[in-house]
Structure 1
Amino acid sequence: MARKHVFISGRVQGVYFREYTRREAERLGVKGWVRNLPDGRVEAVFEGPDDVLDKIISWCHQGSPGASVTNVEVIDEATEQQFKDFRITG
């Protein structure tokens, strides 16, 4: 298990990015959360097996159909296994 803290920049708010992220996370079995930030970015925490996290992070580079992603920052964190599912917060 691994944990990634991710910040996605670009046109990622107002384009259903969080909902599409939730759907993709559920499809892959990833746990964690996603939310909008006041500065226009989207923030997410993903927990799961390394190979699955690679898939969802790769997906974040494309995002929802209306998104235009310009940057994805990924920070490795200690796995806490505190999540039971994947949620949209904030």
Structure 2
Amino acid sequence: MQRPTPPAADGPADGPGQDAARLTAWVRGQVQGVGFRWYTRAQALAIGGLRGFARNHRDGRVEVVAEGPRDRCARLLDWLRTGDTPGRVEGVTEIWDTPRGGYADFDIR
């Protein structure tokens, strides 16, 4: 299955030629109570240039919102799908959008 290309965003993000993007991903599986949000934050910080959050939902999913250069958001998405994450990821659904801002860092909620 081919993954859709994230939409272009207006304005610079982290430097010349870097389009800013907003990724919202819902991660399904055994992803609560296993440190998933903390590892996601650590991965976002390791990638660099990402701001946003990871939070649990009552239905067992983890929501991840990341804003920053599109290629870095895509790296985080790839990690969510195929990386060495804690727990067991059964699926990830994503939506790409333009950044809304308002995040100082990448937080756990």
- Whole-angstrom CA distance in 2 between matches of 1:46 and 1:75: 11
Contact 1:20 1:63 in 2 (8 A): no
2:101 to 67, 81, 84: 81
- Whole-angstrom CA distance in 1 between matches of 2:64 and 2:22: 10
Distance 1:63 1:39, change over 3 A: farther
TM-score, normalised relative to structure 2: 0.76
Structure 2 residue runs without a partner (length 5+): 1-19
Report which structure shows greater RCO (CA 8 Å, sep ≥6): 1
Higher strand content, 1 or 2: 1
Q: Hey, which bits of structure 1, 4+ residues long, moved more than 6 A?
A: none
- Whole-angstrom CA distance in 1 between matches of 2:23 and 2:54: 12
Letter in 1 for 2:45: E
Alignment of structure 1 residues 1-90 onto 2, 5 Å = 1-29=20-48, 30-62=50-82, 65-89=85-109
Q: What percentage of aligned pairs have identical amino acids?
A: 39
Structure 1 residue runs without a partner (length 5+): none
SS of match in other structure, 2:33: coil
State the superposition RMSD in angstroms.
Answer: 1.3
Instruction: Give the aligned length.
Output: 89
**1:13-48 deviations in Å (ceiling 9; x for gaps):** 111000000101111121100001000000011001
